[in-house]
Structure 1
């Protein structure tokens, strides 16, 4: 384990707790795996608003398009067994397809470059207005021409991964859910993962939630909807820990994996750039990839009615991060990337030295909360309200146990000014004086504000 990792994990838990409170989200779970072993697993919030059940790491979530990575792993597994080729046209395995759909190769379907429709002509399944497509309905949709020609650009398609599920069934002679569980889920050691709902081992399930608008309040979206023929695109039910374990095994450098190193390299290698997007992102074979805070990553995200989830693998550090949230406006995406930012910051500065360890703590003013976070021989003043808490963070260089100086800060901050801690008789810090401003613990500020402003 990297020397800085324990301190980074401690701060990630503190930061996410603040994020959940400040954003009004129902709940989230974070898990981090290092070299396949879970080193952080924390749950925040509630499993269902209006109930009394606290969210736990054992609650399952609908992880939606993470399903595509499981399906892609299944196709690569069949390729390793010599039962198909990525150059096979889909029509070689599945009958009744439109000629253009049938000519699309498995590699094109896996990389979303087959030109297949995203969700068909009626996407009501994503709005709670209709069930997900059964096999007859999916086949009927795949018998229609593609909106664009294959191999012209990246065009995301749930129907395309539904077709890959049909390919798996045709090649194996088994139902998709049965085969993927036996060939991929179980060998990966995932005891809390199932291909669809309802499914044995898929409970307890955290309830999903709407946003606060237009009703002015969140309502529960149960989340137990089966996805039928689209399970291979969006059906999976899992936990943050299982996702971190599974995606970590796809790292080509991982010592243990259900696929060969060559297959893992092929899955995670960028194939197509996402066009017309402000942020540079790529897609491989059932995996997304990009770069955050100077760290390369691959993984996937998921959006299901009531749930948002995101998983990142940082190959250079043997780390996998998964964040699952139970609301349609869940912040799993910025939170997962925020974790990557935290890791990058600690990796750059290193583990805190003994000289600065006593400076850790959260301090409040009526403007904001600030976190003193020791790392290396300095202390950073983080903003836990930000999705990237160390953005433009000032650096404090302690001159002793309770005195220091702001030695690095952006121009609108207080570069060069003094910082000091005030302690009580027992040695506990009770005040932080930062460039002339007194910051206090949360409870003390709350009492002060109530006295001054009422409420």
Structure 2
């Protein structure tokens, strides 16, 4: 492992712990794989707010639409075995469909360009107000015509992936979850992944979902253990962050080991359609979305299940896979996955700290909140751990002595050119003066604030 990556992993774990705390999220799990091996697993917060159960890396989550990549891997595996072609019409394998649905190709279903309905006439299954569709219910809705013309634009469809699950069953002669569990999940050695809740063993730790704090005034626990039936191929999988990262890591064309050929992996990642949205530039291939963040080209997927939000990004150029799982409907997984990319890019650019700078570190506090001193190479950045990109507009300190430095780069509203000094006691550095701002350990600032602003005190106007 490169020195910069080891340094980055230490800060990433500390930053995410802080993010979970200040965001008020129930919990979050992070896993990072490098060259197919897990190099960081970290869990923060709770698996269940009602019981107080602590979250651990072994807790399974509903990873929702990440499942689509498992299904697509299954289709590509069958293609490599010459049991199907991506140009095949789905009607060759599944009967009793609307004629215009039957002509949709497997490739169109994989890339969400068949024009099918997203979730049907009642999508209450994703709001936990009804059961997920069974096979008969799904086929009944697929006897209706497509919503828009095929190949006219990217249009997401869980029904389309449910239909791909039926294709796998028709070709293999086995139930989708049985075949997928053996041919994809077990074949990759993913021991902490199940195709659906119905396959999760007894006693396996499972993180519960949670609502927002509104409208109830508190987060309510959402069980999250309902089976997905015929929508299993679109949203059923249950897994740890580590297994999810491992699975997506092996989809990179340069992965050293994979279940699929390089050609299949390249086909899955190839940018076929731009996703119409204003949030960020994202493209879609075959069950894999892709984009560029923090200077990194990446591919991956996200997931949303009632009570859960998840995101995975693979950075092939660095042979890194990132998975973040959160257990609330307002989970910050997409932002935190991007934050990890920003941190990785900063360390990759500036390098690991030198002997001169490596002890200029730690989280320091004022009434305004926390700042992190993060050493890179010969300089130290003053980071803001509350930001998704903690290094946005960060001031840079040049270390000039054991306990002295100078701010050599800062925004126009910061303290460019001013001095920095550390104050020591017998136990070590007790405070730091960043220009005119004194920063101290959290416990010191907390005690001072509790003393200065006691609970219940009211000031009266004179």
TM-score range, shorter chain: over 0.9
Asked if 1:304 is matched to 2:301, the reply is no
Contact 1:300 1:310 (C-alpha < 8 Å) held by counterparts: yes
1:337 aligns to what?
338
Q: 1:422 deviation in Å?
A: 0.9
Structure 1: which 5+ runs fail to align? none
Q: Deviations over 1:2-43 (max 9, x none)?
A: 220111000001101111110111101100000011100010
Residue 447 of structure 1 and its aligned partner are, at CA, apart by 0.4
Q: How far does residue 432 in structure 1 lie from its aligned partner after superposition?
A: 1.1
Provide the TM-score with structure 2 as the length reference: 0.97
- Residues 311-390 of structure 1: matches in 2 within 5 Å? 311-390=312-391
- Please state whether the residue corresponding to 1:395 is helix, strand or coil: strand
Shift of 1:384: 0.5
Report the CA distance between 1:421 and its aligned residue.
1.0
User: Following TM superposition, where does structure 1 have runs of at least 4 consecutive aligned residues deviating by more than 2 angstroms?
Assistant: 200-203
What residue number does 1:140 align with? Answer: 140
Q: How do 1:425-444 and structure 2 match up within 5 A?
A: 425-426=426-427, 428-444=428-444
Deviation (angstroms), 1:301: 0.3
SS at match of 2:25: coil
Distance apart, 1:187 and its partner CA: 1.1
Q: CA deviation at 1:423?
A: 1.3
Say yes or no: does 1:77 pair with 2:77. Answer: yes
Q: Tell me which residue corresponds to 2:45.
A: 45
Give the Cα–Cα distance (whole angstroms) in 1 for the partners of residues 451 and 311 of structure 2. Answer: 42
Contact 1:192 1:201 in 2 (8 A): no
Q: Aligned pair in 2 of structure 1 residues 153, 245: CA closer, same or farther (>3 Å)? A: same
Report the secondary structure of 1:359's partner residue: coil
Partner of 1:28: 28
Looking at structure 1, the residues matched to 133 and 27 of structure 2 have their Cα atoms a distance apart, in angstroms, of: 29
Give the corresponding residue for 1:421. Answer: 422
Give the C-alpha shift of residue 277 in structure 1.
Answer: 2.6
Q: What are the residue-to-residue correspondences of 1:251-270 with 2, within 5 Å?
A: 251-270=252-271
- 2:181 maps to 181
Q: Distance in 2 between matches of 1:170 and 1:198?
A: 21
Q: Give, in whole Å, the separation in 2 of the partners of 1:241 and 1:201.
A: 18
Cα distance, 1:276 vs structure 2: 3.7
CA distance in 1, matches of 2:201, 2:254: 30
Shift of 1:198: 2.3
Structure 1 position 139, deviation (Å): 0.4
Q: Secondary structure at the match of 1:358?
A: coil
1:109: which partner in 2? 109
Matches within 5 A, 1:153-232: 153-201=153-201, 203-232=204-233
- Separation in structure 2 between the aligned mates of residue 278 and residue 60 of structure 1, nearest angstrom: 29
Q: How many residues align?
A: 454
Q: 1:200 Cα shift?
A: 3.2
- Offset of 1:381 from its aligned partner? 0.7
1:220-265: CA deviation from partner (whole Å, max 9, x where unpaired) = 0011010000000000000100011000000100110000011001
**Do the aligned residues in 2 keep the contact of 1:381 with 1:393 (CA within 8 Å)?**
yes
Structure 2 Cα separation of the partners of residues 62 and 448 of structure 1: 43
Q: TM-score when scaled to structure 1?
A: 0.99
Report what 1:120 is aligned to.
Answer: 120
Deviation for aligned residue 1:99: 1.2
2: CA distance, partners of 1:394 / 1:60:
40
CA displacement 1:278-333 (0-9 Å, x = unmatched) = 41000010001000011000000000000001000000000000000110001011
Mapped partners of 1:389, 1:201: distance in 2: 40
